Amino acid sequence: MQLRRNTVVAAVRLVRPLVKASNARGLASCPLRVHNSGTSPKASASCAAVQKLLPRAPCRQVTSTTTTQQRQVAEVDDRGQVSDERPAKDAVNSHELHEKWGWKTSDPLYWPYKIMGVFSTKNTNALSSARMLQTCLNNAECTEWYSDGKISNEFLPKLLWLSTNVWLMSRRLLREGERGKKVQELLFDELWRETKRQMRSIEVSEMMLKKYLAEAQQHTFITLVQFDHAYTLESREERMDVLTSALWRGVYMSDESIKEPHVRVLAEYVDAELADIYAVDASEFFAVCIEFAPPPTAELKAASKKVAKGGGGKRSSRKGTVAAAPGLEGGAADSTAAGRGGGIGEKVHHGDFGSGDGREGRWRACLAESGKVYYWHTVSREVTWDRPAGAEAYVPSVMPKADQTLTAAA
């Protein structure tokens, strides 16, 4: 009996530090970590068994199916009256998210990881925020935004466009109660870590890193506050005007060569994506089994041609967005029921979460914590420091010199 008791005590003493370390380090308790677009080569090689922590959860097609009454409630929340209470049908728990990520209680590693705290609520929220940032990165890094969209490749415009995608996620998180607030905080932490990785990738010294990060955060929050202000206005036309103006001053850095019709298309895209994110089921949202619509290249090209021909910049009459659909205008219900049927806000089906690369996958460039570029495959999750054949080269942002500011460079 004494021997059995001593054995139990020894086992408890052995497991307790592991549990504490796991809870303290979050996802870092497992050798596999999320680095921008996946796992680092060193981490992946050290523990291949736990790659299931990032399963390939399929992204399903999402359409706006909410009723006019539901959208009216969403619009009231958009005007600043955000409720912390969620409907019972939208309540999610960590176990439900684990199942969507491919984990089952019958898996041999499930219970050991659960005992170690890998599946704790804290770690689950951290993984949700990491997946959300990855989905935002996949959309913000599409080359169409910087060609047809005319977004500058400089550091600050790219960061503000990424922050715009993050803002869309955070708006929905504000409606998800206490858990949504915690994930939102983690999401912005992930954003700032990604910002530092991008700075390190262009060889910004550690001494200047804190200065540039503080300046980048200031510009980001100014832009996001303008977005929030746009959705406190009653009129759809006023909301779209403020949103368009905020995008022009932020993402386009008040570039006089970018005309209002072009920015208006981007504002319509942002507005439509916000409507779709609001319509997603809570469990699908926290599991991040969704992704953004592709860039509206046709609309962007048409707006550019209109400006080149001296068009008057007629405002878009597009419906089906969060600004028009909540019932504040007469034709909103009809446009919502009809759906968008393509173009801005259309959801597409892909094999990996937010990868946008289809079932066959492809190689993507991403950044480690040190800022060094590595490559990972979106389906097989193979990682390598060397650039594989067919992989797109990583294009770093343009960064100001040591004696300049971010605004001066932009």
72-122 confidence digits (pLDDT tens): 444 444 444 444 444 434 457 777 888 888 888 888 888 888 888 888 889
Under 8 Å between Cβ of 247 and 267: yes
Alpha helices in 280-409 (DSSP H): 282-287, 297-308, 332-338, 406-409
Residues 6+ apart with CB under 8 A from 333: 68, 325, 327
83 is a domain residue:
yes
Specify the number of domains making up the chain. 1
Residue 3 is assigned to a structural domain of this protein:
no
Q: How do residues 150-181 score in pLDDT, each as one tens digit?
A: 999 888 999 999 999 999 999 999 999 899 99
**Model pTM above 0.75:** no
pLDDT top residue among 209 and 30: 209
Each residue's pLDDT tens digit, 46-77: 333 333 333 333 343 333 334 444 444 444 44
Q: Is residue 86 in some structural domain? A: yes
| Residue for token pair 């022009």 | 248
- What tokens does 293 get? 């619509």
Domain assignment present for 401: no
Distance separating alpha carbons of residues 378 and 352, to the nearest angstrom: 7
Q: Which residue has the higher pLDDT, 354 or 297?
A: 297
Q: Looking at 95-104, 255-264, 270-279, which range is the least confident one?
A: 95-104
Does residue 403 sit within a domain? no
Could you tell me the residue range of the domain that residue 287 belongs to? 57-354
| Residue 171 within any structural domain of the chain | yes
* Residue closest to 394 by CA, chosen among 33, 36, 152, 32: 36
CA–CA separation, 141 and 153 (whole Å): 10
For the CA atoms of 326, 328, 332, 337, what is the dihedral angle to 10 degrees? 30
- 42 domain-assigned: no
Mind listing the pLDDT tens digit for each residue in 367-383?
776 677 777 676 666 77
Q: Does some domain include residue 212?
A: yes
d(CA 114, CA 65) in angstroms, rounded, equals 36
- How many Å apart are CA 228 and CA 64, to the nearest integer? 22
